[in-house]
Amino acid sequence: MQNPAPAEVELSIVIPAWNERSNLEILLPELHEAVCQLDVSAEIIIVDGGSVDGTAASAGAFGARVIPQTERGYGGALLAGFENSHAPYIVTMDADLSHPPRFVEELWSRRQQADVLIASRYVPEGSADMRTSRRVLSRVLNGAFRWMLALPFHDMSSGFRMYRRDVVAGLRPAARDFDVLQEILMRAYLNGARIQEVPFHYRPRGAGRSHARLIQFGRSYLRTLLRMRKLSAESPARR
């Protein structure tokens, strides 16, 4: 599948990738098949964070558009994807095979129900194949954001989402690590966006290792939590 002209695109799929060639060689054919089943005009954008394993060449060979990442971190990759996408709806997903391509159909079918759809592991009928230590950390993290920011969402760290373009257009979050997900959600919520969680099954990553680093992960999440708490307190929507 070739990427259509910008004016024709109905759906942009943004995938940050750093040394994920072997996973993308499985993911992209499955994703192309899923998109074809939807019968929509779609573009697949791989945001390459400086891979040295042939990620960019392989993604291009499978028909994806490859964008070089210019700002650091997962947050920088998402912003590059948003800025280079053309569709009114944007799906973000991981390159590591933990997000099943077939679930894009579920998100697309619900696109009129909310401005942001979150593929959620932690709502009824959602599930996750994760190590116990990671599951506990994820639950604690999501619980802390939910409680301290008084948000009604259970899986704020899920990167598998569908956004209406106008929700993220011009958005410039300060976070540049994985905590960008919570910041985007908080800012969208305070701006009045309709947000809905959709249960899905999270799979183990394919080849390679996670790029999250625990110490950096913890520090960045704490900074973002405190910053979002202040933003929430100052927001007219919360007064």
186 falls in which pLDDT band (50, 70, 90)? very high
SS (H, E, C) 20-57: CHHHHHHHHHHHHHHHHHHCCCEEEEEEECCCCCCHHH
Q: How far apart are CA 57 and CA 41, in angstroms?
A: 23
Q: How far apart are CA 13 and CA 82, in angstroms?
A: 10
Q: What is the number of structural domains in the chain?
A: 1
The domain containing residue 69 runs over which residues?
A: 6-232
Task: Decide if 150 is inside a domain.
Answer: yes
Report CA-CA distances (Å) from 114 to 18, 59, 194.
Answer: 30, 31, 5
The string of pLDDT tens digits covering residues 33-82 is 999 999 899 999 999 999 999 999 999 999 999 999 999 999 999 999 99
- Give residue 152's pLDDT: 94
- Contact status, residue 95 vs residue 88, Cβ threshold 8 Å: no
The string of pLDDT tens digits covering residues 131-171 is 888 888 889 889 999 998 999 999 999 999 999 999 998 88
Which H or E element spans position 186? helix 180-190
Q: How far apart are CA 19 and CA 55, in angstroms?
A: 6
- CATH number, domain containing residue 208: 3.90.550.10
Task: Decide if 81 is inside a domain.
Answer: yes
